[in-house]
Amino acid sequence: MKVHQFQALVIGALCLGAAVLAAESYNQHQQLAELQSAARNAPADPSPSLRRDIGELRSTLATLSPQVAALKDAQHQHTIAQATLGQQLDELWASVRILQAVPPGPSSAELTALAQRMGAAEVILEKLSTAPKVPAAAVPTTSPISNQSKAKAPQPPFTLQGIETRGTIRFVAALPAGAHALSTVHLLQPGDSLNGWQLRAIREGQAVFHVPGHGDRTLPIP
């Protein structure tokens, strides 16, 4: 239901209630006026039956007076409630006008275009991050490896994203080559392997991996 339809229904109900209260109050006033007129027109020395009728009328008047006072109070409360509701409806309309004045958000086409641009940027970033990198320093190994073998060592099958700390334990975050989703990031501890490369040690800004057949490789951590 729209706001203006709801407002019309509420105001109509309030007006109907006010009309009912006004009609009841008017009937009570009419009865009081008739009883008071009958009492004033009574003879100075009425007969016993007339005295009895006057006594009953006075009792009725005494009974009706509190009811009339209660009706007046109820009508007053109704008027106050109607004024309060009118103020609330005005505030509601003001809020609706403010909401209508707010500019609309981006359309679905704009969001789709933005998602495509982000995907293209991720592809470019992936190509840049998988470019050949110069090892920061050579790490002594337990077995001798020739310089020719080191030069021909394969490129890492992943891209290092940084270091994650969980409590006192540090992990190296590695994104497999060709992957773009964050859900594919692997958290490696020393001893863990990813695509055949085993993490040996985590140093300050560096990660040492053992490459089968090529010895150890030191990769910089962003």
Res 201: pLDDT: 93
What CATH code is carried by the domain that includes residue 182?
2.30.30
Looking at the structure, tell me whether residues 88 and 153 fall in a common domain. Answer: no
Res 149: pLDDT: 47
Query: Does any domain span residue 130?
Result: no
Looking at the structure, tell me whether residues 179 and 96 fall in a common domain. Answer: no
Q: Give the count of domains, the chain.
A: 2
Query: Does any domain span residue 188?
Result: yes
Res 139: pLDDT: 46
Domain extent, residue 165, equals 147-220
Looking at the structure, tell me whether residues 11 and 94 fall in a common domain. Answer: yes
State the DSSP string of 56-100: HHHHHHHHHHHHHHHHHHHHHHHHHHHHHHHHHHHHHHHHHHHHH
Query: Does any domain span residue 216?
Result: yes
User: What number of helices (H) and strands (E) belong to the chain?
Assistant: 4, 7
In whole angstroms, give the CA distance from residue 95 to residue 89.
10
Mean pLDDT by 10 residues, the chain (222 residues): 70 80 82 79 67 85 86 87 83 74 69 76 71 50 49 81 89 89 88 92 92 91 88
Res 87: pLDDT: 85
Res 137: pLDDT: 47
